[in-house]
A = this chain, B = another copy of it.
Amino acid sequence: MSDNREILLRCALDLFSARGYDAVGVQEIVAAAGVTKPTLYHYFGSKRGMLEVVLDTHFLPFERRLAGATTYTGDLTLSLRRVAEAFFRLAQSTPAFYRLHVALYLSPPESEPRQIVSPFYARQHLLLATLFELATADHGNMRGRHARYALTWRGMVDSYVMAMLDGYLAYSEGMIFDLVHQFSHGIYS
């Protein structure tokens, strides 16, 4: 029975997301999971390895969904809506993981956690950038800005998601509309 593996993963995610990767010790994780250290090291090899598995478990399925959402069909608005939906679904199914990965991504560049998430973010950025690049065929004014749009789009989605997780915004169908609309047409319309 490798039940303990899943329990450990859940406890690690909760603790990391609540108090930060560096601030949480392995002692604390195994205590929360009701096991002892060798169990953790048996499954994950190291504290770092544990974080890597946490990221894999949640990000890999998400990236498959994101890849589906970023296929360009000639309707950029539709794609953006699907992308936003993918992010919101991730946030709603596992809020703790969303908090964690955002915190990790914006942690210092030389820090260990940041180096672990970076490849995931790079892949996701590529998906978004490709979407905007393909869309320039139909929206000439966007030419040469696909990287920046990928960056700011993700930034705005994360702003919305974090505001929702912090209780400043209530989730609704219309929220994704508003988000896409604000990104597409700005605040004046």
Contact = CB atoms under 8 A, between A and B. Distances in A.
B188 A141 contact: yes
Interface string A78-117: 0000000000000000000001101100111111110000
A contact patch SS: helix
Contact of A155 (B19, B155, B168): B155
Interface centre among A108, A145, A154, A188 (most CB of B within 10 A): A108
A31 interface: no
B155 A159 contact: yes
Interface of A: 16-20, 22-23, 99-100, 102-103, 106-113, 139, 141-142, 145, 147-149, 151-152, 154-156, 158-160, 162-163, 166, 168-169, 182-189
5 contacts: A19-B108, A103-B107, A107-B107, A147-B168, A151-B168
